[in-house]
Structure 1
């Protein structure tokens, strides 16, 4: 069959699925299409007409593409998960695609997509509008390609810089991570595409992730990783939550009744459905009874399809009540109604890739963090006679993280043949070359050296007014780095270039914190993360001051591994043959993750959480505090731009309860013109004040004297006071 014939058949298949849905609104026999009814009422009406076979079919998704010679399901768009529609009831097929940084499946148009910068970059923006816009962009692209479920919303906390999936997430603080992920989910679902929040919960390492038990005190879990999910679920109202691979305190999350039924659905009131990660189901009845509603691609990734024959038998025997099966189907249908998937079914259309690339570029500009800038080396003056650009394939593009979230740019990957080619690769770059923008903005000569020959690179740097060294550190799903060192000879490259030219700028494209033995020898350092499809243009504009850096670190930057709660990650390293740990002890730091760990152990990080430089300067004055009628501390102060460039600062509110470590309680991102000032008010989020009371199973704010301070990072205070807070219980 020719390619054109296949596409024609696919178009017919899509049309056949959509036509009954489009016609269903005018059919009196389908009362569930009455939009004045609630999603729950509509789901119940459909459920009343479903056969037992249809109920069992909607609770499992097949792998939607060819695998090991097995053809893709008819009607699937090469999706990560596919559930056929129910034509007689007007229920469309479920077409799922990875992931949180962009659409990774080709879909109906058989092309690549636009990739957002890393989730850590979005978190570093400290800007919910950036998070929302990114979510809306990738949600819109998913919809344009024919997908109606996007596996986005990564909110696992960064507990270790060596974790291979940190780039998908939103940092180490639960308030920041949950808020930013929640706004991303909002953006996705406003495009009438269902979004997940994942990976629930404590999937904070990749080594041995399928069997590893993440062990932690339940209260510490409540006040850290679970709190991040609680905030994300409350903020974003996701249609689905994805349970993770790992165990928590010995029990697999997808069959943990306390996590799924008790906390998520019971306490938090989550009305959507719980889907499994691909390969995370280990049982039928225990999983269903614990709260798992849909099994994902079990025929490929699980030992068997547990939610088919085994669950049918469990229902037949009465081990799983019929009411539970009905509830599983109800939750999926309710989400489809609530998020617009049924009322406004996806119709593949031409994506707006050029506009979307600008969204990605703006996010990269907002999230890049300027870590060092001696003698105002940056921005690079237009008057410099020569700039030597070195390394990192900066002449071709910018690095992307790997695994299921790796987006193939719509214009392809400009750097081919990099290893690994197999899973979790292939290693990819986005075709947005920093060199192109640097050449366009510089008036003087711009040269490029690959950096593969250190002596040649040093020679090129010595002959230039400014040297810009690009370094990359690839990370991906399914493995962790064994240490924090840069790959290959990149440390030696930076050292040699800096020795040849003290006016050296280092641009990092990394998963997060790395060792920096050359830090004192270079003039400037910028963390660009994995900067996405607009990353090259963003980096060039930042280097030349077309836009002022405004990102702040969403995680602490350790000096080296010795400052971490665990010196080693057992079994880490791509292709490692060493056995991973069976259990990881998170009781070491508990809820004191990141900056709280550094405070608790009285250690000084290389760069603290919340840190970020600008091309301008800011001054704080007239600090004052009060406690509002609900018992929340409120800080007020005047922020003034004392420099010569328009820029943004991110004042952060930290609250310290008696005998505890400081917690981020709020923030504002404030843009000011030179000389401009603004009176800023930040009210503390009540969850940042509260401790979880296990006896009352509730969040409780203890009465007492609390330290309240505003700072430009977790360690720099710009105003501090003590306030007395009355006891309260959060609803």
Structure 2
């Protein structure tokens, strides 16, 4: 490509100015490592300048706070430094898209992604990467440069109000998906956090509870998910959690932050607090680097109290310098200095396509006993019932709430007190399943019945060839579900409709597992989760077979709450300030591993999902040595294209029974096509953590594996010998 003279002149001037700046401010030399640039810059900072980047206010005018000068409006704000050329940190909630809290940026909508559970149901890290990249680019194009995303807490309780933000109950699946989402975001020159470190597994008492667990159990479960995600995504920041871990608040937990994260894992970035999670200045000594949303702490601990602790020697000057260097290092590594966030137009159509693909791949076909799905487009009459399906698709609430471009399709105020009052607005994204179904079934008479009264819904269903019931479970940050039933009498509605018309399809829009007392009467059941910007179209594509049903459950659906490690949710009924313990007696046996250990039969197992075609597995070969390598063939034996996700499980480790996911791969195949899948297990998934030796320990001996369609459906089995070894923590 030949450059015009003016363009060439501009490039030369830019190069000269950059070189000149690097002479005056050597940390602006992009050829240097992020560590060296951070060191050079930190050397030039005064004590007050360091302290200034270690704490910051809310970035939105709520709770009596004012919008800080220089803030564009978001969850948090850290002022920049004009003298040294340090950009301000404009920090946005972004678990499932760029948030706009309290409409602080008037009318600034964004692309809502499907829920974390929906994306994890794809078992496709490429989906997570594309989603993270999309959100990162939208944020950068809005002038935001830090995203508070990367939720990787394992789902230990299906009633947790924030499960929809997280990925799964398995450390491998959660770690790989979160890592790819973070990597996608940071490649857009935006820092991503990973959160909430650690064991933030229920909303009831989240500010006061103590999550109690042994080190080995934590290392083999929740912490392993974080470790895998940090290795894959290299997040610039780790956000510590509200709760206590083994009686010590997570944001001042020396074991978590100093010994594990920064010590064993050699994490080079910075630890920021969750908003309102700092309780004392000693958090600085115990590993916290930055206080966020300081008004919510009551005291801005990292401002005057930190200065006083520095003056008294309680906090060494070297520690404060380490805190600032970690922040600066991540800013350099992500490109915040060299590629500053700039408000630019956004291609929302392209971003909607990313959201639609994620929704389609994450929809799980749970039941289809008579082959009702995919629906024939020759159906003469279809009635769509309930779930506000005439307006749009359900989303989850709280800090992750995304307001879609153009505003919500519908909002419903539910009322309440405390956080529920703040978050208590049900938002429907602008993608009507009813409209999408009408577009697919052009020859049919398609009607809508709100589903307020079971009798009226049953009568409408009886008069139609096919009934499609949408059932909703709205979940939000700040509140857990009291049980796993569908709220507002929806189970009675579904029972009435399925009794009136056996050709009834139930589409679940939920934030996690629910019970299904009507399951045996339903013609088909589909889990659509919260499906995002183009969820209505994605649901219709799957219902009518224009997209295969490819999702697989990333979480076990219990048959009842009695099967859970804690049938009664801890902390219910206690005062908001009451401290209490949650003892994780299940240890590392989370989700499907608990069910396997106890011999429990769930409603639907982890990894389960039906397809519109059929797959066979054959030719298993397992080789050992330093780890396990598993090779097998997958063949589409059905009559249409489809995608499968074969899963590899460890079932016995040198004489110790286990059921543990050690590998998976999504495979798209044409009818009759086969493909060889080869997977090598991360040795940590085969090992146990030895607390006394402070190492991962892999015992020598015979290791058994199984290839299955779910954690409860093993098709092939094999074994191989492994040599004993230990690995660093």
Instruction: Report the TM-score, using the length of structure 1 for normalisation.
Output: 0.94
Equivalent position SS for 1:206: coil
Q: 1:643 aligns with which of 630, 638, 642?
A: 638
> How many residues of Structure 1 are paired with residues of Structure 2 in the alignment?
705
C-alpha distance 605-611 of structure 1, shift in aligned 2 (>3 A): same
1:705 maps to: 702
1:180 maps to: 177
Show CA shifts across 1:469-515 (max 9, x none).
00101111111111111101100110010011001100000011111
Show CA shifts across 1:60-88 (max 9, x none).
12111112444211110111111111111
Q: Is 1:370 the equivalent of 2:369? A: no
Show CA shifts across 1:159-184 (max 9, x none).
01100000000100001101100000
Q: Which moved more, 1:674-683 or 1:174-183?
A: 674-683
Contact 1:24 1:90 in 2 (8 A): no
1:726 maps to: 723
Q: Distance in 2 between matches of 1:623 and 1:44?
A: 52
Show CA shifts across 1:612-667 (max 9, x none).
1011011112222212x5x2112222211111111111111111312242110010
1:289 maps to: 285
Equivalent position SS for 1:176: helix
2:220 maps to: 223
2:527 maps to: 527
Equivalent position SS for 2:697: strand
Q: 2:619 aligns with which of 617, 622, 626?
A: 622
Q: Distance in 2 between matches of 1:476 and 1:571?
A: 18
1:414 maps to: 409
Alignment of 1:207-222 (within 5 A): 207-222=204-219
**Structure 1 residue 565, shift from structure 2 partner:** 0.5
Show CA shifts across 1:182-229 (max 9, x none).
000001101110000000000001100001000111110111111111
Task: Give ranges in structure 1 of 5+ residues lacking alignment.
Answer: 1-19
1:137 maps to: 134
Contact 1:21 1:342 in 2 (8 A): no
Q: Distance in 2 between matches of 1:86 and 1:664?
A: 47
Q: Distance in 1 between matches of 2:140 and 2:16?
A: 16
Deviating 4+ runs (over 4 angstroms): 20-25, 106-110, 576-581
Q: 1:83 aligns with which of 69, 78, 84?
A: 78
Q: 1:197 aligns with which of 187, 194, 204?
A: 194
C-alpha distance 189-21 of structure 1, shift in aligned 2 (>3 A): farther
Q: Distance in 2 between matches of 1:283 and 1:69?
A: 22
1:695 maps to: 692
Contact 1:361 1:533 in 2 (8 A): yes
**Structure 1 residue 679, shift from structure 2 partner:** 1.6
Q: Distance in 2 between matches of 1:392 and 1:22?
A: 60
1:379 maps to: 374
Q: 2:98 aligns with which of 93, 99, 103?
A: 103
Q: 1:30 aligns with which of 25, 30, 47?
A: 25
1:433 maps to: 432
Q: Distance in 2 between matches of 1:624 and 1:47?
A: 54
Contact 1:467 1:504 in 2 (8 A): yes
Q: Distance in 2 between matches of 1:383 and 1:261?
A: 63
Q: Distance in 2 between matches of 1:131 and 1:164?
A: 22
Q: Distance in 1 between matches of 2:476 and 2:104?
A: 23
Show CA shifts across 1:571-602 (max 9, x none).
45xxx776687334443211000011001111
1:551 maps to: 551
Equivalent position SS for 1:403: coil
Q: Distance in 2 between matches of 1:469 and 1:213?
A: 40
2:3 maps to: none
C-alpha distance 419-614 of structure 1, shift in aligned 2 (>3 A): same
2:458 maps to: 458
Q: Is 1:596 the equivalent of 2:593? A: yes
Task: Give ranges in structure 2 of 5+ residues lacking alignment.
Answer: 1-13
Show CA shifts across 1:286-334 (max 9, x none).
20011100000112x1020000111110000000000000010000000
Instruction: Report the TM-score, using the length of structure 2 for normalisation.
Output: 0.95
Q: Is 1:361 the equivalent of 2:356? A: yes
Q: Is 1:318 the equivalent of 2:317? A: no
Q: Distance in 1 between matches of 2:202 and 2:513?
A: 15
Q: Distance in 1 between matches of 2:276 and 2:657?
A: 39
Q: Which moved more, 1:351-360 or 1:583-592?
A: 583-592
Alignment of 1:115-154 (within 5 A): 115-154=112-151
Q: Distance in 2 between matches of 1:687 and 1:114?
A: 37
Contact 1:222 1:692 in 2 (8 A): yes
Q: Is 1:235 the equivalent of 2:232? A: yes
Show CA shifts across 1:246-268 (max 9, x none).
00110001111111011001111
**Structure 1 residue 425, shift from structure 2 partner:** 2.7
Q: 2:678 aligns with which of 678, 681, 684?
A: 681
C-alpha distance 398-653 of structure 1, shift in aligned 2 (>3 A): same
Contact 2:50 2:320 in 1 (8 A): yes
Contact 1:121 1:528 in 2 (8 A): yes
Show CA shifts across 1:265-297 (max 9, x none).
11111100000000110011x200111000001
1:659 maps to: 656
Q: Which moved more, 1:216-225 or 1:273-282?
A: 216-225
Contact 1:60 1:296 in 2 (8 A): yes
1:277 maps to: 274
Contact 2:107 2:406 in 1 (8 A): no
Q: Distance in 2 between matches of 1:274 and 1:182?
A: 17
Show CA shifts across 1:435-464 (max 9, x none).
111000112111111101221111111111
Equivalent position SS for 1:79: coil
